Structure 1
Amino acid sequence: MARILIVDDAVTVRMFHRNAVEALGHDVAEAENGIEGIETALTDPVDLMLVDINMPRMDGFRFLEEIRKTPELQGIPAVMVSTEAKPDDRLKAYACGANLYRVKPVKPADMKALLSLILGEPTA
């Protein structure tokens, strides 16, 4: 079982992703913005982060830049999950340190494949 941090300002999105992740047997932590996400990850270690782009206080791009500069967090995989589907957003996410980029909504079957890929779990 892994611990997944969901960083998104939309309560409904966090709940949707929480349900999908917990159905796969993983534990979930949540944060409403990048600042809260960093604080949460530093105080309650996680194995993977699912991060939105558009959030108040600190957006997802800045969040990725900050965690990649933070020794305790820089090795944790991060997946940018956003409604933004432009190629420039995808490229910027990778430049900021994302391991993968997915466009919302991420269906439960896609979430399972995503977590299996990132966490190295069997898909069967």
Structure 2
Amino acid sequence: MATVLAVDDSASIRQMIKVVLGPAGHTVIEAGDGAEGIAKAKNASLNLVITDLNMPVMNGLDMIKNLRTLPALTGVPILFLSTESDEGIKQQAKAAGATGWITKPFKPEQLLAVVSKLTRD
């Protein structure tokens, strides 16, 4: 099963990700902003990063750009989970290195399906 880093300034969203992915056998590591996410990513062997866009300290786009400079994370999928659905922002996210996008609010089965697809060996 996968080790997933969930980065969101909303504790309830991080908890929801954990509630959805935990019973499926995934380990979820939580971070409250992009800077904390980078720190935790450097100290874990990750299979997937799920991040919000709008967060204090460091937003999701800047975090992705930073994560993509780390050799251990170059091939790790990064999934945006955001209320934003603007095409321009999606393009920026893709350019920064995001693998996919789910718009909040999300359906648990949708998140589980995407995580399974992205973490399949």
TM-score grouping bracket, smaller chain normalisation = over 0.9
Report how far residue 120 of structure 1 moved: 1.7
- List runs of 5+ in structure 2 lacking aligned partners: none
TM-score, length-scaled by structure 1: 0.93
TM-score, length-scaled by structure 2: 0.95
Alignment coverage as a number of residue pairs: 121
Amino acid at match of 2:81: V
Amino acid at match of 2:99: N
CA RMSD of aligned residues (A): 1.1
**Residue 6 of structure 1 corresponds to which residue in structure 2?**
6
Q: Which runs of 4+ in 1 moved over 6 A?
A: none
**Residue 57 of structure 1 corresponds to which residue in structure 2?**
57
- List runs of 5+ in structure 1 lacking aligned partners: none
Indicate the SS of the match to 1:69.
coil
**Residue 72 of structure 1 corresponds to which residue in structure 2?**
72
Amino acid at match of 2:45: P
Indicate the SS of the match to 1:6.
strand
Identity of aligned residues (%): 35
User: What CA deviation, in whole Å up to 9, does each residue of 1:30-59 have, x standing for no partner?
Assistant: 000111111101112211000100011110
Indicate the SS of the match to 2:71.
coil
The answer on 1:44 being equivalent to 2:34 is no
